[in-house]
Structure 1
Amino acid sequence: MDMNQYLNMFIDESNDHLQSLNEKMLQLESNPTDLGIVQVIFRSAHTLKGMAATMGFEDLASLTHQMENVLDLVRNNKLAMHEFIFDTLFKGLDALESMVQHITEGGDGKADVSSIVSSLQSIVSGDFQKSGTNAATEESPSKKVDKNDSAGLVLDQFQYSVLEQSISEGHRVHYIQVTISSESQLKAARAFMVFNTLENSGEIVKAYPSVQDIEQEKFEQSFSLYYITQKEVGELEKEIAGISEIDTVSVVQLDQESLKQMSEVTAGLAETAAVQEAPVAVQPPAPS
């Protein structure tokens, strides 16, 4: 059966459901114990899943199904809403919107949503409350800052304001750490490829070491940066890791609170380092 004749109807109804899902999720965020809102969200997700499956958009249907599993536990009082759950569901909604937009533009709606699906599955299994590798218990990004990098990562007032405003306007702000393979003979070239890739879809606000130092290979194997984009963590990690001779990649999305924490911690570490490196005054011996 040719389903193309129903494509426009599917797109229109999917956008309606996605708008409703976003609105209701925001309402639920303000009142996380309101199971009536959860029930409305569940029904919209269930309908969207069914439409996507009927039209053959398997990735879209699969992701919606995983979100539906989480919502089913919540509506039946088997799971309480948590910051990590909200964050994961909103990421799922962002991905669904991108997939529907892809379909609208003539695409097949396929997308790599494995990281979101994994997070949703960990919520259903309860592992997200036990694991130290997920967002619910993940170490604060500020704790990942190397003390040796603290001075270089300190944001000035303008840089901080740019990042803060970007978050307020709905952009994604990421703290990214990249380590180049110790066997690489072209460290600067690999770093340049990372910078070039990132600048194609966003703005680098702060880098340490500086771009000039990196170009002159005045760095060891690693560098860090603050980055503004619309891309998600998983997408950025995949793009950077795909560059030859990149050893490790860490991407952490910052919200207003974690950005403030990062700024305070790096400033504090830099101040401590400056004090420790200050010359110690030698007192002259007391006259005999």
Structure 2
Amino acid sequence: MDDTQKYRDLFFEESDEYLQSLNDSLLQLEKETDNTSLVDDIFRSAHTLKGMAATMGYTTMAELTHRMENVLELFRNGTLEVTSKVVSVIFKCLDQLSEIVEDLRAEKEVEYDISELLNELDEMAREPGQQVEEEAGESAAANDNLQDYVLDASDISETDGKVIKSAIEKGFFAYNIAVKVTETCLLKGPRAYLVMNKLDQQGDVLQSTPPAEEIEEGNFDRVFKLIFISKLAPENIYDIIENVSEIEEVIVEKIAVDNIQEPKSPDMMEQVKDEIKKETSKPAGGKAKEDEKRSAGKDKTKEE
């Protein structure tokens, strides 16, 4: 049995379990509408199912579970009441997901029209009493100019400033990096983790916003920010990041030494120099160009 078949078998086995768990939990939720622990379990099952489908490339299934997840999140934060109407729509989604899984298992090539279900889910997510203004604000923020997200020198802590200044004095470059994933990206966490991991192989990701743990879990809108130390030139950094799929836009800006606060502790300065030497003494490539900006090219070969 090849690896692909093993992954398929594992996907079907786990999908059956999660779909059954979702079905049983929804039946119970109809009787215990205030059971927040149960709502959390349902959300986590849907979230895992979405991730599994997206990883396998089953986009219709991933999209449907993604929209389900949006409604379930409203259950969790209390902005949507658990009613028989809403639960009924979720059950219809589970029936559709079960049908998709069975067809995939039988290797049937079927095109599904899930537009009606998606519309019903979207309608529920917009019903009166919900925090529409907040959601609209978050959506607008996601479409802002990426330049607005690049860290300012004043955002750099004194400790990180010491590390950056030391690195620059030892011949490294320090960069502000802002990365935006595509609006349709379902696996923000894994994409962001891949970007950070690849950069770490060529230098040191000194700081991230949000924190690395939140980024890797996908707890950010569409943009995450990094401070990166390396001997790489900006064009090499662009190549690394743009080679990851579902990256929409990237900005790389060189941090000037004049913008860094003067370190106050000589002893700490020496310690930081040693750390930078150990962690980022990797070969550099290309000639540095300051403040390069460009959107991620869609015609490049992307790494999945």
TM-score by length of 1: 0.42
